[in-house]
Amino acid sequence: MLESSKESLKLEAMKRVVGLIAKGKNASELFPAVVKNVANKNLELKKLVYVYLVRYAEEQQDLALLSISTFQRALKDPNQLIRASALRVLSSIRVPIIVPIMMLAIKEAASDLSPYVRKTAAHAIQKLYSLDADQKDHLIEVIEKLLKDKSTLVAGSVVMAFEEVCPDRIDLIHRNYRKLCNLLMDVEEWGQVVIISMLTRYARTQFISPWKEMLRDTNSEKAFYESDEEKRKSAEETKPYAMDPDHRLLLRSTKPLLQSRNTAVVMSVAQLYWHLAPKHEVNIITKSLVRLLRSHREVQYIVLQNIATMSIQRKGMFEPFMKSFYVRSTDATHIKTLKLEILTNLANEANISTVLREFQTYVKSQDKAFAAATIQAIGRCATNISEITDTCLNGLVLLLSNRDETVVAESVVVIRKLLQTQPSEHSDIIKHMAKLFDNITVPMARASILWLIGEYCEHVPKIAPDVLRKMAKTFHNEEDIVKLQTVSLAAKLYLTNSKQTKLLTQYILNLGKYDQNYDIRDRTRFIRQLIVPSERGGALSKYARRILLAPKPAPVLQSAFKDRDRFQLGTLSHTLNSKATGYLELSDWPPMAPDQSVRNVEVAEAVSRSTLALRQPVGLEIDSDEGPKNGHSCEAGSRSGSGSGSSEESSSEASESDSESSSDSDSGTEQKKQSEAKPAQKVRRSSGDGLVSVCDRVCVCVCQQLSSPVFVPVHTYELLHRMTGKGLAAQYHFSRQPCIYDDRMISVQLTFSNNGDHTLENIHISEKTSAGQNIHCFSPIECLEPEKSVTVSMGVDFNDSTQAASFQLCIYLTHTRKISQSFNVSIQPAVGELLLPVTMSEQDFSKEQGNTHTHTHTHTHTHKCSPKHNFQTSSLKQSTFYSMWFLNPEILAQHNKPNIIRMIIAISVYVELCLGSQSVVK
């Protein structure tokens, strides 16, 4: 059928072949016939052939090579879906000969225009790496390139590739760190998981611990006894901890993801907070984790495991939610046991009575394994909380008369552990257990009782030899552990009460000597030598009493989750409690913060040089200082970081709001934006420099080429007061986004709110009165109900003048005879809103400076008016100005206006902003 000329027949045949593959049957002998169809036009047939190829190419390498040329052709296809799927298949064919072809294809695809193809390239990197690890260096280059990608589609996949290929090359992340944090919200959910776990590791190497102060608090007592000098030192160390703004950025950008519907995302955010957030902020993850318990059984299992680990360290986190961990009869056994574990961890003096009452019902459960686990849990509570030890012990003794064997056995074991802590007071319990001994058949329990009697034979001098006698009778029928304990019991009794038990002991030792199990024979031989010294000395026998009857420390009953926190939460290794292949250790916090400037993204070399030049003096200061460097460098970091922090904060907000608004627009513009985002991002980064904090306030208008994330002030201006507007109030603000209507327009956001009592209808702009100003109106608002508000955007071309744009705003007042009402309003642009931020290199700047005479003017003005900048003129000239926002020469050229006027406007803007005044300088 595959050879048939009819496509439908071929397709049918291929479907059957795929059916075979799915069932796991071998279909490899069809390879030659199938491979012929790889160039078929029918897409479905093609796909099925791909499936087949990927499955069998490894086995039939020579024949597989026949198909390669088809893929190479498809890689040039104009359809991005075909390009991508060709790359997918090509990279999935595990034939070593084609490695160079794959490498080439990946490199090409990494610079493809379509983000979908780039995403596929990121996947192909991992495949090639697993096929041929020698290509690592080349692949890292591609990864580095793709990490710079701004598309949310690519981000997750490339980070995945990074984790697989070069997880130790943390230096590649530095420059992309802030971008990744900001994009995180919009990345698809699977990518989010990967990025978050990578960033967790990254943050642990790059930021200093936010937990330090907490630790010091606990040590404060010790500090009291320290010598004065030490105290002084520690006082210096306790300088307030300031979180790196980038650290804060990470925490802030992941927080909303706790609300994700994807449980894996929620868990990864939870582990990020657990590992990175200051202690007092971790609590926000509790609710979300408890929510996950509503999900599928398997999800519950993993989440409960993680909660169990957390609840050991931080009881308080989950205590209010204790009822959520109550066991239901319908839960699976492993879920029940985990819940029990958590309840035990959470138990304290205050809630122990509730917990115990709950446990009491569990003991009666029909699921006996679970009942046994409950008894263990009771034992743990009893040791942890000394007030209830007696109550628990009594309860457990009562359980000894339970009908169920496992329950009794478990109680015996737990009682033994509890008794070890205070044996003398409980000889009656031991007597009671000796009485029960005949009825208990579970080996572990029998062994425990024997051990107890042996250990405390002085408390029960009469019963002990009797038990030994019984044991001698049944010795050969016992399990190995019971036999071992019998031998020990005999030895102990021989030492304490040899008169009564000498013969019995000898008898038992003889039985043990010929036992089938070599452990028992071994033990018997050893004991015999120890207690019945032979003629040839036996130096040890002198110490027999001290060896056998040494007081033994009580066992500590602790959680199985005690040490689990050495693994990163949420990982496979954590679940298994052992290191899985490919597990990446979470490093400890660095003692000193590494240079944070590595995360700054420079626009041009010049800027980076200037930043360095500026940083230098600060660094030198630290070095010359004799005090502990740690505190200082930290502080210096926060000082220089504060500027960038504030700008970062606002810009990230801006970008978020931007992405939100852009999701409203159609996908076409979105794509365009993504490609345009690059320059804008660069501009923003330059504001990361501490010195240009003024620039943050510089309100310079956004031109059309530059889009998205720039600083947007929230200041709004009044357009229409509610009194004049008959209940309608309008405000406007400049959104500083590229106007979608026209290149020359400035986009303005209007917010209408209805403060009246009646519904307003048909709000629209009736006529544009102002001459020469082009206004793009918003679409009429059909109705606006009382107490509601609505935001629309419009575009105004101010013609590069500060003249106000006036127009008429109309509404229908339905409640009064359906009369249309209109108001004259005007929008007054601040000069800054008309301008555009531009960064330029030092050379360009000096060129521009040379061009215009007035420019020197700018300098002087800025200095005089800026009280915050008491830098030397020269230093300012050298450094600050280069990274400053400046007028775009292109715009100037476009509008054919004299440069000088432009410059004056620029000066006035700077002056205005430095003074912080809103007055417009003419």
**675 contacts another protein (rule: CB under 8 A):** no
Nearest to 66 by CA among 28, 29, 86, 38: 38
Q: Which of 96-104, 311-319, 332-340, 817-825 is the region at the interface with another protein (rule: CB under 8 A)?
A: 332-340
Report which residue type is found at 435.
K
Q: Is 447 exposed, middle or buried (0-12, 13-18, 19+ CB in 10 A)?
A: buried
Q: Which one among 663, 769, 843, 860 touches another protein, defined by CB under 8 A?
A: 663
Residue 271: CB atoms within 10 Å: 22
**CB closer to another protein, 74 vs 84:** 84
Q: CA separation (Å) from 217 to 68, 207, 238, 780, 819?
A: 66, 21, 10, 61, 71
DSSP string, 360-385: HHHHT-S-HHHHHHHHHHHHHHHHH-
Which of 582, 887, 382 has the alpha carbon at shortest distance from 397? 382
Applying CB under 8 A, which part among 319-327, 677-685, 704-712, 724-732 lies near another protein? 319-327
Q: How many CA atoms lie within 13 A of 478 on its CB side?
A: 27
Partnered with residue 827 across adjacent β-strands are: 805
Q: Which is nearer to another protein, 70 or 91 (CB)?
A: 91
Cβ distance to another protein smaller for residue 417 or 483: 417
| Cβ at position 729, least distance to another protein in Å | 18
* Position 10, amino acid: K
Tell whether residue 717 is a contact of another protein (CB under 8 A): no
x-marked contacts with another protein along 827-866 as a string, rule CB under 8 A = ----------------------------------------
Binding mask 550-589 for another protein (x = CB under 8 A): --------------------xxxx-xx-x-xxxxx-----
Shortest spacing between CB 719 and another protein, in angstroms: 21
Closest approach of another protein to the CB of residue 363, in Å: 7
When asked if residue 389 is in the footprint of another protein (CB under 8 A), the reply is no
- Pick the binder of another protein from 302, 419, 493, 825 (CB under 8 A): 302
862-921 residues in contact with another protein (CB under 8 A) are: none
* Closest distance of CB 707 from another protein, Å: 14
| Closer CB to another protein, 584 or 920, in the complex | 584
> What DSSP letter does each residue of 818-874 carry, written as one string?
TEEEEEEEEE---HHHH-------HHHHHHHHHH-TTHHHHHHHHHHH-TT----HH
**DSSP label at residue 780:** P
Q: Tell me the chain's radius of gyration from C-alpha atoms.
A: 39
Identify whether the C-beta of residue 489 lies closer than 8 Å to the C-beta of residue 465. no
> Which of 5, 24, 534, 537 touches another protein by CB under 8 A?
24
3-state secondary structure of 781: strand
**Toward another protein, which CB reaches closer, 366 or 516?**
366
Candidates 36, 94, 138, 877: give the one binding another protein (CB under 8 A): 94
824: exposed, middle or buried (Cβ count in 10 Å: 0-12, 13-18, 19+): exposed
3-state secondary structure of 586: coil
Residues 58-87 that bind another protein (CB under 8 A): 58, 79-81, 84
Least distance from C-beta 581 to another protein, angstroms? Answer: 5
Of 190-198, 246-254, 503-511, 593-601, the window that binds another protein (rule: CB under 8 A) is 190-198
Give least dist CB 737 to another protein, A: 15
Task: Return d(Cα 402, Cα 340) in angstroms, integer.
Answer: 21
Phi, psi of 593 (to 5 degrees): -70, 125
120 scored as a contact of another protein (CB under 8 A): yes
Angle at 520 between CA 518 and CA 524, to 5 degrees: 115
Residues of this chain, 686-715, that bind another protein according to CB under 8 A: none
| Position 152 contacts another protein (CB under 8 A) | yes
Residues 342-371 that bind another protein (CB under 8 A): 352-353, 356-358, 360-361, 363-366
Is residue 155 within 8 Å of residue 123, measured between CB atoms?
no
Looking at residues 126 to 145 of the shown chain, list those that interact with another protein (rule: CB under 8 A): 126-127, 130
* Using rule CB under 8 A, residue 654 touches another protein: no
Task: Centre a 10 Å sphere on the Cβ of residue 209 and count the other Cβ atoms it contains.
Answer: 17
CB of 185 to another protein, least distance (A): 8
Residues 530 and 504: their CA atoms lie apart, in Å, by 17
Of the candidate residues 479, 656, 742, 848, the single one contacting another protein (CB under 8 A): 656
How is 452-500 classified by DSSP, letter by letter? Answer: HHHHTTTTSTTHHHHHHHHHHHHGGGS-HHHHHHHHHHHHHHHHH-HHH
Among 108, 188, 478, 595, which residue sits at the site for another protein (rule: CB under 8 A)? 188
Among 448, 524, 659, 681, binds another protein (CB under 8 A): 659
Number of residues that bind another protein (CB under 8 A): 125
Using DSSP, state whether 792 is helix, strand or coil. Answer: strand
Task: Report, in Å, the least distance between residue 688 CB and another protein.
Answer: 24
For the segment 727-766, give every residue that binds another protein (CB under 8 A).
none
Smallest distance from the beta carbon of 38 to another protein, in angstroms? 15
Nearest residue to 642 (alpha-carbon basis) of 594, 689, 591:
689
Residues ≥6 apart with Cβ < 8 Å to 896: none
Please identify, using beta-carbon distances, which residue of 330 and 477 lies nearer to another protein.
330
- Residue of 239, 334, 521, 857 that binds another protein (CB under 8 A): 334
* Span 259-288, contacts to another protein by CB under 8 A: 259-264, 266-268, 287-288
Contact by Cβ (8 Å): 841, 604: yes
Q: Does 657 bind another protein (CB under 8 A)?
A: yes
Q: Does 45 bind another protein (CB under 8 A)?
A: yes
Q: What three-state secondary structure class fits 793?
A: strand
Burial group, residue 621, by CB count within 10 angstroms (0-12, 13-18, 19+): exposed
Q: Which of 296, 473, 499, 552 binds another protein (CB under 8 A)?
A: 296
Main-chain phi, psi angles of 767, to 5 degrees: -145, 150
Report the 10 Å Cβ neighbour count for 743.
Answer: 12
Which part of the chain contacts another protein (CB under 8 A), choosing from 46-54, 134-142, 614-622, 709-717?
46-54
Residues 580-639 that bind another protein (CB under 8 A): 580-584
Which of 303, 373, 548, 683 touches another protein by CB under 8 A? 303
